Amino acid sequence: MKEKLTCFIIDDEPLAQEILETYIAKVSFLDLKGSFSGPLEAAGALKSDKPDILFLDINMPDVDGLSFIPMLNPKPGIILTTAYDQYAIKAFELEVKDYLLKPFTFERFYKSVLRLYQEEIGKIQHVKAETKSEQNNGQDFVFLKVGHRMQKIAVRDIIFVEAVKDYLRIHTSEEKIMTLLSFAKLEELLPQRNFVRVHRSFLVAIDKIDHIEKNRIRIGEQVIPISDTYADAFQKRLKGYGQE
């Protein structure tokens, strides 16, 4: 698992730089690689070091922060730090991760970077789960603990799975089965080619989907939401389905 996120600061105000440097030093999972007074000064280092996070001011000489964002390739996770609130809509059109309005507290700063760190952990865990599940692509059944017994469940019979408090309810063509198991563990057991997470509370069998409309999946009479967190990965799985 990635232990630290590397980060750069670009801000032409020395005091603003100093505050960010102090905040970053307090966070164990952040590693500051450089502070710069403007985009032109930072361009070379950004290209070679490829940081995970860029703390970027907007109003700066030569090149402003919003104009600089489209020039970044690859683009790190960008957290804008500015004293002006009128750029927020434009900023999120440029897919920034957060918009910190100066002066911001350490608590607000920490919430912002923690969210990025959790996203990174989620990506790594997802890749690990996919790698492990690829080993199970040819299996026909799984054994799951149901009460005091281990129950054999045919993979082809699983329609979708939903989280119910600490349990998972597995909907099959014949019955509903409750098991005390995490989604992460279940995804390791099931063949990745045919099962995909679409919501923090739902995992579906792709071949059982009847139709998809906007952010909803219909399987028979069941309507299952697609959350923003899983939407992109779900669309990619649909495009690649059947090509494995």
Rg (CA), the chain: 22
CB 69 within 8 A of CB 78: yes
Per-residue pLDDT of the chain (244 residues; tens, 9 = 90+): 567 899 999 999 999 999 999 999 999 999 999 999 999 999 999 989 999 999 999 999 889 999 999 999 889 999 999 999 999 999 989 999 999 999 999 999 999 999 999 888 776 665 555 555 444 455 688 888 888 888 999 999 999 999 998 899 999 988 999 998 888 889 888 887 889 999 999 999 999 999 998 899 999 889 999 999 999 889 888 877 655 5
Q: Where are the domains of the chain?
A: 5-131, 135-240
* N-terminal to C-terminal alpha carbon distance within the chain: 27
Q: Is 193 exposed, middle or buried (0-12, 13-18, 19+ CB in 10 A)?
A: buried
62 phi, psi to nearest 5 deg: 70, -70
Comparing CA positions, the residue from 82, 71, 79 lying closest to residue 39 is 71
5-131: CATH topology is Rossmann fold (3.40.50)
Pick the CATH number of 135-240 from 3.30.70.360, 2.40.110.10, 2.40.50.1020, 3.40.50.300: 2.40.50.1020
Cβ count near 42 (within 10 Å)? 21
